[in-house]
């Protein structure tokens, strides 16, 4: 770490300390000249460095001190300050909770600008995993008067998180597959490394960051697009993590690949995908959009599978496919 990157030192501290180490015992004027800074700035920085223990000043003579012990002590003090700040945060959270009957492990945010900032911060702070449930695009029937609904797009900072090695899993509702822009955004995430699945009944919009924070978004009131609930580590967060895992297991993997049917030897990969989509409750239109074919083609393939398995309905088709371990 460079000295100038420390929060308690200015950019002038590093050249000043380097000059002191290289030049040995010296006076303020000579030290400032070697460091290339003015005497007023040098005097202030000498005082700061001396307070930390990196310089020793005696009778106008300045001498550098080995840094390890002084900076280790600084690290200890900062750790104590951080612990004190966390304790203070807990106290203030209790005050907030007691004043309004609010639980201190949740925060409700109604302002769209602040929601966007919180989303970006949570994504930037994510170190290992981000898991999400996405209902999909809002139906036009549910749009309130005056509400502005943006088109589906990749969450801010999500692709950057994937690029730095964060593992991502996303479970999407079927309306994503029925919306061209929504599906394009999902395919962009898959191409960047996200594991994506689809399920007919995704219950809420949820993102879980490192299993330490969660963000739930719900429809807003009085024309607002949405409100957000931030959930911190708590029993509620544990429930949300478990909820995601349950729905993830029920989802069907999303794939952009299509392969030829091998009806005689059993289902090919595309037919297995088709059967999985049917078992998950997807409509013909949603299946067709993901497979890149028409809904009529999907209908014909389903009819062909029913014929092969001797099924007279889609329910019977699912039962027969399950018995044969096709899904």
Place of tokens 């067709």: 288
Start-to-end Cα distance in the chain = 54
Answer whether residue 263 shows pLDDT above 50: no
Under 8 Å between Cβ of 26 and 61: yes
Query: Residue 27 pLDDT > 70, yes or no?
Result: yes
| Strands 129-134 and 167-173, bridge-based pairing | parallel
Q: How confident is the model at residue 71 (pLDDT cuts 50, 70, 90)?
A: confident
Looking at every residue in the chain, the average pLDDT score rounds to 79
pLDDT in tens, 150-175: 567 888 899 999 999 999 999 988 77
CA 201 to CA 69: how far, in whole Å? 59
Our measurement of the distance from residue 176's CA atom to the centroid of its chain's CA atoms, rounded to an integer in Å, reads 19
Strand 61-64 versus strand 106-109 pairing type: unpaired
Please list the alpha-helical segments (H only) found in the chain: 13-23, 28-35, 39-52, 68-100, 112-125, 158-163, 180-192, 235-250, 269-279, 284-291, 295-309, 314-323
- Confirm if 37 and 10 have CB atoms less than 8 A apart: no
Mean pLDDT of 180-199: 86
Average pLDDT on 306-311 reads 68
Q: What pLDDT score was predicted for residue 90?
A: 66
Tokens of 309: 């398995």
Average of per-residue pLDDT across 285-314? 80
Task: List the structure tokens of 47.
Answer: 């005082």
Q: Residue 2 has what pLDDT?
A: 43
Are the beta carbons of 240 and 231 closer than 8 angstroms?
yes
Taking only the tens place, the pLDDT of each residue in 99-147 is 666 567 888 888 888 999 999 999 999 999 999 999 877 554 455 555 5
Query: What per-residue confidence (pLDDT) applies to 146?
Result: 54
Residue 203 or 100, more confident? 203
- The CA distances from residue 98 to 87, 103, 205, 247, in Å, are 17, 8, 29, 35
């Amino acid at each position: 770490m460079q000295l100038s990157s420390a929060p308690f030192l200015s950019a002038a501290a590093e050249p000043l300390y380097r000059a002191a180490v290289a030049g040995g015992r010296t006076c303020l004027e000579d030290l400032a000249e070697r460091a290339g800074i003015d005497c007023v700035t040098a005097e202030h920085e000498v005082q700061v460095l001396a307070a930390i223990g990196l310089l020793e000043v005696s009778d106008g003579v300045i001498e550098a001190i080995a840094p390890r012990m002084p900076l280790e002590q600084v690290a200890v003090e900062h750790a104590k300050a951080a612990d004190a700040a966390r304790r203070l945060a807990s106290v203030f959270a209790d005050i907030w909770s007691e004043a309004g009957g609010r639980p201190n492990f949740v925060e409700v945010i109604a302002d769209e600008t602040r929601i966007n900032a919180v989303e970006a911060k949570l994504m930037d702070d994510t170190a290992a995993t981000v898991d999400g449930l996405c209902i999909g695009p809002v139906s036009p029937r549910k749009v309130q008067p005056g509400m502005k609904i943006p088109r589906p797009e990749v969450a801010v900072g999500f692709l950057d998180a994937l690029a730095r090695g964060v593992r991502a899993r996303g479970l999407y509702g079927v309306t994503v597959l029925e919306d061209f822009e929504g599906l394009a955004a999902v395919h962009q995430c898959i191409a960047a490394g996200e594991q994506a699945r689809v399920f007919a009944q995704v219950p809420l919009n949820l993102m879980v960051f490192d299993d330490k924070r969660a963000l739930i978004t719900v429809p807003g009131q009085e024309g607002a697009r949405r409100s957000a609930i931030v959930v911190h580590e708590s029993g509620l967060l544990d429930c949300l993590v478990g909820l995601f895992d349950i729905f993830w297991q029920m989802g069907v993997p999303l794939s952009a690949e299509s392969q030829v049917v091998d009806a005689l030897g059993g289902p090919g990969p595309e037919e297995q995908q088709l059967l999985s989509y049917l078992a998950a409750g997807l409509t013909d239109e949603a299946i067709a959009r993901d497979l890149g074919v028409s809904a009529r083609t999907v209908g014909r393939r389903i009819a062909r599978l029913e014929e092969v398995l001797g099924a007279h309905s889609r329910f019977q088709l699912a039962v027969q496919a399950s018995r044969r371990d096709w899904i």
